[in-house]
Chains A and B, each alone.
Chain A
Amino acid sequence: MLADEELMQLVYRSNADAFEVIYDRHADAAFSLAYRMCAQRALAEDVVQEAFLSLWRSRARYDRNRGSVRTWVLGIVHNRAIDALRRRAVRDRGVVDDEGLQERIAAPERTDLDVARREDAREIRDALDELPDEQSRVIELAYFGGLTHVQIASMLDTPVGTIKGRMRLGLAKMRMALGDPAEMVQ
């Protein structure tokens, strides 16, 4: 089985079959992240579709020295989701979240790799949970909620500098707790 990085060499040469494998490997994680952020199935689907097409069309920009394919994919999804969230926040304040919770079909653990990823996720969750509430909260509001530090400061009635400091301290503590997260299963 080819590694992601080897597949990306084929993708670079416009091999759609290789790209399909990349999609199959990371689409669930991409959709999970998008849904966690957007809380609406249709919006999450749009985000993921745009992200993968962006990835395909900018495939020449992938640099394995800057991280794994999975990190690259999820980074694009995160950016797209934040764009969508901030856009929606401007236009549809108070939008009702997706009612289709039944659509949140948990992905089954299919392989040893999936199991390992879930173990990693538990470690990351533990590291986040060990933070003081005020630090974990700002990290989650920023990363998953798509809020700027200015918006978070306003929401929590806390100085902007304090919010930025909490973000930095929280991430730094997680970095220490996790060692090198980049070495986790990708």
Chain B
Amino acid sequence: MSAEEPHIEPQLCGDSAAPYVLRALTEEEHVAFLEHLDSCAVCREEVAALQVVAGALPALAPQLSAPPELKQNVMASVREDLRSGAQLSGVESRAPLRSMRRPALAWLQWRPLLASGALAAAVVLAVIVLSSGGRAGTRVISAEVTPRGASASLRVSGGRAQLDISGMPQTAPQRVYEVWVKRSGAPQPTDALFRVTASGDATVGVPGSVDGVKVIMVTAEPLGGSKVPTSSPVIIAHLS
């Protein structure tokens, strides 16, 4: 390899390029720096120079073999997308980076909603259908959705589930959507935090196995998510 001298400027603009390429800025700093990059050629150049180093860092990880079942799950979802005619999406949901805020309202607050089914006007009754032409064992569950004009379906295959959402409103700037799973008792939080695209779309994998899960829900939570829901669910999918 050559030893080309990189063009990296000294400390400018808060020295944020390096933590940016390492993804070590806080969420607020990350957003602010992205905006800053639009107008700062110096920082863009520094990011470009440092990004190639960050891009090489994965090679430092001990090389392992991916589990075969992982491929089965991924390709099953891909082929199911094709069968269901899913459209290309610009979705790339990213979790926020800030620490969790204090949870306030609890599961108790919206449990009656589940019992009564008294969600707002745009509620779509949960219907479990075999996906059209889908492979055996794949279910597509239409979810109850609160925001008017929005829709969501839960695709369950091989013990895994994925939410396909469209027409959802944007969360407030300091909030994100969070996915919850409920087996018995209170709903449990997951690592799935997301925002929707400008058109309100998102595709979100439900972490872990959904074996034994009765309900999957989505609420809007503060950045970093919550341990218990702090708002009423906007999406509810019944698996059983």
Contact = CB atoms under 8 A, between A and B. Distances in A.
The answer to whether A and B interact is yes
Interface of A: 14, 16, 19-20, 23-24, 27-33, 35-37, 41-43, 45-46, 48-50, 52-54, 56-61, 67, 71, 74-79, 82-84, 86-88, 90-91, 104-108, 117-118, 120-121, 123-125, 128, 139, 142-144, 146-150, 152, 161, 163-165, 167-168, 170-172, 174-184
B113 interface: no
Interface of B: 1-6, 8, 11, 14-19, 21-26, 49-50, 52-67, 70-71, 73-75, 77-79, 81-82, 86, 88-95, 97, 99-100, 160, 162, 189, 191, 193, 203-205, 207-208, 224-225, 227
B217 to A, nearest CB: 17
Contact of B64 (A31, A57, A123, A172): A31
A128 B100 CA distance: 33
B68 to A, nearest CB: 10
Contacts, number: 248
A114 to B, nearest CB: 8
A23 B208 CA distance: 20
Contacts of B15: 161, 164-165, 168
A23 B74 contact: yes
B74 A57 contact: no
Given A53-B162, A87-B95, A176-B6, A171 B54 contact: yes
Contacts of B8: 168, 172, 175
Given A48-B66, A87-B191, A121-B60, A168 B18 contact: yes
A119 to B, nearest CB: 10
A32 B94 contact: no
A144 B61 CA distance: 9
Contact of B94 (A14, A23, A79, A117): A79
